[in-house]
Chain A
Amino acid sequence: MTCSNFLSQQQRTFIQMRTVLKVVDNSGAKKVMCIQALKGKKGARLGDTIVASVKEAMPNGKVKKGKVVYGVVVRAAMQRGRCDGSEVKFDDNAVVLVDKQGQPIGTRVFGPVPHELRKKKHVKILTLAEHIA
Chain B
Amino acid sequence: MLAALRNRFLNLAKSSQSWNHQLGFRGLNQTSSYLSTLTNSSDEGLLNLQEVEKVLSDVKADNVKVIPVGEQCDWTDFMVIATGRSTWHVRNIARALAYKAKQKQKETGAQRLMLPSVQGQETGKWVVVDSGKVIVHALDEKARDYYNLENLWSSGMSHLEPVKVS
Contact = CB atoms under 8 A, between A and B. Distances in A.
A128 B152 contact: yes
Interface stretch (A40-48, A54-62, A72-80): A54-62
A107 B75 contact: no
Interface string B136-166: 0100000000111100110001101111111
Interface string B62-83: 0000000000011100010000
B46 interface: no
Contacts of B122: 101
A108 B159 CA distance: 10
Interface in B67-106: 73-75, 79
Contacts, number: 78
B163 A127 contact: no
Given A28-B166, A61-B166, A132-B74, A123 B161 contact: no
Contacts of A28: 163-164, 166
Contacts of A108: 152, 160-161
A119 interface: yes
Contact of B1 (A62, A103, A119, A124): A119
Contacts of B148: 107
A26 B164 contact: yes
Contacts of B164: 26-28, 61-62, 105-107
A28 B161 CA distance: 12
B130 A123 contact: yes
Interface residues on A, range: 20 to 34
B125 interface: yes
Nearest to B137: A127
Interface of B: 1, 4-5, 8, 73-75, 79, 117, 119-120, 122-123, 125-126, 128, 130, 135, 137, 146-149, 152-153, 157-158, 160-166
Interface of A: 26-28, 58, 60-62, 83-84, 101-103, 105-108, 110, 115, 118-119, 121-124, 126-128, 130-132
